[in-house]
Structure 1
Amino acid sequence: MSRTAKTVAPTDSTPVRAQNSRRGIVVPLLLVTVLGGTGALAVTRPWERGESTTRQAPLSYGVVAVEKGSLSTGIQAGGTLGFDEPTPVVATGRGMLTALPAVATVVKTGGRLYEVDGRPVVLWKGERPMWRDLGPEATDGPDVEQLKRNLIKLGHAEGLGLTADQKFTPGTTTAVKRWQKALGVPQTGTVTLGSVIMLPHSAVRVQHVGAQLGAAVGTGSVLTVTRTDLVATVQPAENQLSRFKPNGRVTVKLADGGTVNGRIRSLIRGGANGGSGGDDNGGSGGGSDKTTVTVALDAQDLARKSGPSSVVVSVVGDSVSDALIVPVTALLALDGGGYGVKVADRSGAAARLVKVRLGLVADAKAQVSGAIQAGDQVVVPK
């Protein structure tokens, strides 16, 4: 939309001041504020009826064309794209670190995370960390059940009739030996403390390596890992929070110009528990008193092409298409209710008042309908 350089000369139809007529009083709408992207209209009149002892400088007017297009009350907020759920990995047991993975390495269940004393430490899936050796002498417990689930999933219990219960049976011993044979370590039938790391994901990505080769285990975090999925995180302003609803749909504009749809997965008051600062992760850290919104993305392939970076998250509200659109500054509040616009003739020398019906309002623009059409020139303050 572009404004012409011409100035509309004040006439008895130009909205320079309040005019009394049989139609009532026409008051120019000089300030319209769209609050919070909701389309609510707040009108401030520059003067009241009656005499004023203060003279105001005359206003200058121009014209703009009525547009036809789309309008939306959606809001936008800047955020970041990063890998999900940074989690520190603390080594247990005894020994020295003899091999460490590279940043960005993806490790699946059954894969090697790192080595201690030349022996692999393997990723298994589970919510409960290992706290003891698990072998034929182990008492019943949920950690035994967790171990058996992994042995079954990795195919080492085939033909043994093994079930994921809490008993360490002779069949469990056989399955452990099969796993140890495939791993290339002594077949003892006992899973020792420190040989397995239990994490609640089927695959993780190495975000940060926090230890050095030759360091003794048990003195701190060896790695920080994340899930393999990218998510968008954003901390909206307080007046935007009502638009971010759990499971609500959003659009995420990526740094490379692409766009991916997403779903609001969580809203956490007081900031997210971000990672400790990975080498290449764009996730947010903790310490903020704002609400952190996490968005799960529909298309991971598109997100990975962009990689960890800044993004813009858009929440779409009400929208219209194929609508007649004018600037809100073109609207005139009519005495008795409703709104109108001044439509200038082609010469710009005169303008006629046209009453319009107001529709959606967003981004300082308004949807109108009435006896106007696209291309008509409406009067606006300069």
Structure 2
Amino acid sequence: MAAVTLVAVGCGGAAMATAMTGGDGGAPGARNLPAATGTVTRGDLIDTETVDGTLGYGDERALVGAASGTVTWIAGVGATVKRGGRLYDLNNEPVTLMYGDEPMYRTLSEGTSDGPDVKQLERNLDALGYGAGVTVDDHFTAATASAVEKWQQDRGLEQTGAVDGAQVIFAPGAVRITERKAELGGRTVAGKPVFEVTGTERQIRVDLDTDDQQLARKGAAVTVELPGGKTASGRITKVGTVAVTKKPGSSSSSTESTIEVDIALDDPKDAGRLDKAPVSVELQSERHENVLSVPVEALLALREGGYGVQVVRDGRVDVVPVRTGLYAQGRVEVGGPGLAPGVKVGVPGK
């Protein structure tokens, strides 16, 4: 008859057991019923790792003015400015935010050189409702000039049909003002920052150790624990490709390398009013789909090597050798004869 003696064997941090076969070759018997049982299940097994992150609005960047003059009005810290919104007044005329990656480096008017900055302006005019008759392309036409004049009229500007840096600043998207570099009544100069800004969407930044970069895959789902214990779901939106090396502390001469990983919450409302708040992010390190698994504590260390489980069926016990795979979520992936979803296996009693 098979004798099973429980011993403390470390594997995945769980209690293990040793199965020792008696003289009858390991025949099953009712007298060897385990103290408790677990169940073989089929499903996805996911191993995770938790890392630290910071909830905020992303990196700060300078918003640079493209004209010189006196600041006669300026948006306050914390303000959000979207396309068509007023950033500040220069010499008592509004400077408007438009979207685009091309900086305003010249006056745009009919007859000027064609280019992507013209297309960028036309795209904004169209988005703001001034695109009738305008073809969004690299050409500043008479139709473009007419659209500019209508926009200028609505903004209280002189209707010249031409646009320059005293009227427009381009940025990739809406901005949230975190610092004013120019002050009311002060003078600002072309090429100098007027504001420090961030984006307006909440995101989580993780400085991930380069040794763990395999954990971060763009588009992968994550779970975020917010201050107070609330959890929220999110997805990785960007994985940095350049490692940043820094010293972890003044008392140590060693260095650490990290990559930046950005995460967006599935529902931005989950962030509430939090800014620059520490969070914990659960990343998936490995996922095995549609596999059989048992509780880790069901594993027995066999005398002849490898592992087995006690299959409990009809009041009797068979020690079945198993192949093990991924350890995760308190369970272990297994394969072996007679294993199927719903089969009971022995586990140590509480």
TM-score higher than 0.5 here? yes
The answer to whether the aligner puts 1:262 opposite 2:234 as a matched pair is yes
Partner of 2:313: none
C-alpha distance in 2, partners of 1:263/1:142?
A: 32
C-alpha distance in 2, partners of 1:124/1:288?
A: 40
The answer to whether the aligner puts 1:30 opposite 2:9 as a matched pair is yes
TM-score by structure 2 length?
A: 0.71
The answer to whether the aligner puts 1:142 opposite 2:116 as a matched pair is yes
C-alpha distance in 2, partners of 1:124/1:207?
A: 19
The answer to whether the aligner puts 1:131 opposite 2:110 as a matched pair is no
C-alpha distance in 2, partners of 1:356/1:226?
A: 58
Contact 1:67–1:326 (CA under 8 A) maintained in structure 2: no
The answer to whether the aligner puts 1:164 opposite 2:136 as a matched pair is yes
C-alpha distance in 2, partners of 1:32/1:135?
A: 73
Partner of 1:24: none
1:231 to 196, 203, 227: 203
The answer to whether the aligner puts 1:177 opposite 2:149 as a matched pair is yes
TM-score by structure 1 length?
A: 0.66
2:185 to 206, 211, 214: 214
Q: Judging changes above 3 Å, is the alpha-carbon distance between structure 1 residues 363 and 131 closer, same or farther for their aligned structure 2 residues?
A: same
Q: Judging changes above 3 Å, is the alpha-carbon distance between structure 1 residues 269 and 170 closer, same or farther for their aligned structure 2 residues?
A: closer
Q: CA deviation at 1:134?
A: 1.8
Tell me the amino acid that sits aligned with residue 31 of structure 1.
G
The answer to whether the aligner puts 1:335 opposite 2:304 as a matched pair is yes
Q: CA deviation at 1:182?
A: 0.7
The answer to whether the aligner puts 1:81 opposite 2:55 as a matched pair is yes
Partner of 2:67: 93
Tell me the amino acid that sits aligned with residue 30 of structure 1.
V
The answer to whether the aligner puts 1:315 opposite 2:283 as a matched pair is yes
Q: Judging changes above 3 Å, is the alpha-carbon distance between structure 1 residues 306 and 193 closer, same or farther for their aligned structure 2 residues?
A: closer
Tell me the amino acid that sits aligned with residue 307 of structure 2.
G
C-alpha distance in 2, partners of 1:183/1:155?
A: 13
2:267 to 296, 299, 310: 299
Partner of 1:289: 257
Q: CA deviation at 1:243?
A: 2.5
Deviations 1:218-250 (A, max 9, x none): 363221222221112212334432222222222
Tell me the amino acid that sits aligned with residue 192 of structure 1.
D
Consecutive aligned runs of 4 or more in structure 1 exceeding 6 Å deviation: 64-71, 319-323, 367-371
Contact 1:29–1:333 (CA under 8 A) maintained in structure 2: no
Tell me the amino acid that sits aligned with residue 96 of structure 1.
T
Q: CA deviation at 1:32?
A: 2.9
5+ residue gaps in structure 2? 17-34, 245-254, 311-316
Contact 1:271–1:288 (CA under 8 A) maintained in structure 2: no
Tell me the amino acid that sits aligned with residue 325 of structure 1.
P
5+ residue gaps in structure 1? 1-11, 16-27, 35-40, 44-63, 273-286, 342-351
Q: Judging changes above 3 Å, is the alpha-carbon distance between structure 1 residues 176 and 240 closer, same or farther for their aligned structure 2 residues?
A: same
C-alpha distance in 2, partners of 1:360/1:177?
A: 66
Relative to its length, the structure with more strand (as a share) is 2
User: Which secondary structure state, in structure 1, belongs to the residue aligned with residue 257 of structure 2?
Assistant: coil
Contact 1:79–1:313 (CA under 8 A) maintained in structure 2: yes
C-alpha distance in 2, partners of 1:243/1:340?
A: 31
C-alpha distance in 2, partners of 1:312/1:320?
A: 28
Contact 1:256–1:306 (CA under 8 A) maintained in structure 2: no
Deviations 1:344-374 (A, max 9, x none): xxxxxxxx99667456523776578886446
Partner of 1:118: 92
Q: CA deviation at 1:304?
A: 3.8
Q: Judging changes above 3 Å, is the alpha-carbon distance between structure 1 residues 152 and 360 closer, same or farther for their aligned structure 2 residues?
A: closer
Aligned length: 302
Contact 1:156–1:178 (CA under 8 A) maintained in structure 2: yes
Q: CA deviation at 1:81?
A: 1.3
1:362 to 317, 328, 332: 328
Partner of 1:187: 159
Contact 2:209–2:257 (CA under 8 A) maintained in structure 1: no
Q: Judging changes above 3 Å, is the alpha-carbon distance between structure 1 residues 156 and 255 closer, same or farther for their aligned structure 2 residues?
A: same
